[in-house]
Amino acid sequence: MSELSRHLGLFQTTMYGVGLILGAGIYALIGNATGAAGNSVWLSFVVAAIASVFTGLSYAELSSMYPKAAAEYSYVKNAFKNNFVAFLVGWLTLFVAVISAATIALGFGGYFANLFGVPILASAVLAITALSFVNFIGIRESSSMNVIFTMIEVAGLALVIWIGFALFGDTRVDYFDAPNGTNGIFSAFTLVFFAYIGFENIANIAEEIRNPKKVLPRAIILSISITAIIYILVSVSAIRVLDWRELGVSIAPLADVVKRALGPQAQMIISVIALFATTNTVLIMLLSGSRILYGIARDKSLPAFFGVIHRKRNTPWPAVVLIGALAIAFTFAGDISTIANISVFTIIMVFIVVNFALIWLRLKEPEAERPFKVPLNVKGFPILPVLGIVTPVFGIIQFDVYVVLMGCGVVLCGALFYLVYNKRFCVIDET
């Protein structure tokens, strides 16, 4: 039986994570976040980074124990010995991967349309098709493309940091000025917390990493740390260049920062970099989604056909094709922003279950091998995963009722599929 090829080391895996987290969100989110928190927006990024670390450490420990594709599915199944619960978690992660790919592809289409006049939908579909082909070609090629594009993304943000500190070095800003008080800082925290989402998908390429039990935990922690530093520096730089009131109402905040410092022509620099950022995110989400589908299918909770590996390319080609096709289908959805919010709601539910899984394994299997272990424990009980359960709740309470109900609808659809496909509602796996 063919297996996935192990080509990735610590550097490639960390860059994969940095590319996932940075994505294109920072180019848009920082404006709305600044509008809520004022000059204290950098504090919101600090708090969001800490909240991300709570769950990131849980992923680090679990990935060192179970370095498998379809990571969350594997963690939950090993913890609760329940196929049904594990399948629902896997279903949610698949949904997030597909919707994220479609949403960001439309973002790519928007930038591409502004630069070259090609229709947004056509650009999005072509991008998904081309990147699905790269995904099929192999993890080595996908990783090389990701490393290059991630470096370009970082270079764009480094430009913003340089502008803020070098060109506006004499600017005097009260970095603790919060016009809306603590509520504004925590409101912005909810927004920027979503900018850190992505680290969880690092675990889904475990079977293509050399020595994953050591590399995965390090890559997860490094990717969150690197992006946190970049985000904080970018947020400080932005408010040094533009007044928080101006930044808070901008639809292209970082482009406006560059425009203020270097002139209108330089604004195109950020637009071009945003193309690379969106392309990179779509590639990674397609890659991640195909590996999740492959892992679940290989465990026989989805048709085994999707667990087939191409003999020459060593990639799960049926899974690659289906994920690409579903992503294209969702680009035709009407209100993609609402669907994106639903996907964020579902990933928060996944975070909560994953943290519960770690706590449960600590209680039920305290002697199990753990190459990496979450710090700060009281008599063996992990404290940080509890905080990883509590902090995402701040995100859930920001959603309107429609998004919450639709998110629950996604769960029910997964339950219905499981019932029909397996001819039973709940299966307890005793193995």
Find the CATH number of the domain harbouring 61: 1.20.1740.10
> 335 pLDDT band (50/70/90 cuts)?
low
Residue 319 and residue 290 in contact, taking contact as beta carbons nearer than 8 Å:
yes
* Furthest C-alpha separation in the chain: 69
Measured between alpha carbons, how far is 375 from 217 in angstroms, rounded to an integer? 13
Q: For residue range 155-174, what is the model confidence (pLDDT) as tens digits?
A: 999 999 999 998 887 678 88
- The number of distinct structural domains making up the chain is 1
In a domain, 75, yes or no: yes
DSSP helix/strand/coil, 403: helix
Q: For residue range 240-258, what is the model confidence (pLDDT) as tens digits?
A: 999 999 988 887 788 889 9
Question: In whole angstroms, how far apart are CA 314 and each of 14, 166, 341, 388?
Answer: 22, 47, 34, 36
Residue 339 and residue 99 in contact, taking contact as beta carbons nearer than 8 Å:
yes
> 187 pLDDT band (50/70/90 cuts)?
confident
DSSP helix/strand/coil, 418: helix
Q: For residue range 95-127, what is the model confidence (pLDDT) as tens digits?
A: 989 988 888 888 888 888 878 888 989 999 999
In a domain, 431, yes or no: no
Tell whether the model's pLDDT for residue 343 goes beyond 90: no
Residue 66 and residue 60 in contact, taking contact as beta carbons nearer than 8 Å:
no
In a domain, 237, yes or no: yes
pLDDT at position 371: 92
> 372 pLDDT band (50/70/90 cuts)?
very high
359: domain range?
10-422
Q: Encoding tokens for residue 79?
A: 């913890």
pLDDT at position 334: 61
Residue 29's closest CA among 158, 239, 195, 258? 195
Q: What share of the chain is helix, strand, coil (3-state, %, to 5)?
A: 75, 0, 20
Span of 13-27, 162-176, 307-321, 340-354 with lowest mean pLDDT = 13-27
State residue 249 phi and psi, 5-degree precision: -110, 5
Measured between alpha carbons, how far is 386 from 352 in angstroms, rounded to an integer? 9
The predicted model gives 132-150 an average pLDDT of: 88
In a domain, 149, yes or no: yes
Q: Which amino acid, one-letter code, is at 244? A: W
Q: For residue range 246-291, what is the model confidence (pLDDT) as tens digits?
A: 988 887 788 889 988 898 888 788 888 888 888 988 998 899 899 9
Span of 46-55, 152-161, 308-317, 330-339 with lowest mean pLDDT = 330-339
In a domain, 153, yes or no: yes
pLDDT at position 139: 79
Measured between alpha carbons, how far is 12 from 208 in angstroms, rounded to an integer? 11
Q: For residue range 384-409, what is the model confidence (pLDDT) as tens digits?
A: 999 999 987 776 776 778 888 988 99
Tell whether the model's pLDDT for residue 426 goes beyond 70: no
- For 399-424, b/e burial (b = at least 16 CB within 10 A) is beeebeebbeebbeebbeebeeeeee
Tell whether the model's pLDDT for residue 25 goes beyond 70: no
Which residues, listed in sequence order, are joined to residue 377 by a DSSP beta bridge? Answer: 382
Alpha helices in 66-82 (DSSP H): 71-80
DSSP helix/strand/coil, 137: helix
Tell whether the model's pLDDT for residue 28 goes beyond 70: no
pLDDT at position 114: 77
In a domain, 427, yes or no: no
In a domain, 357, yes or no: yes
In a domain, 87, yes or no: yes
* C-alpha R_g of the chain: 21
DSSP tag of 171: -
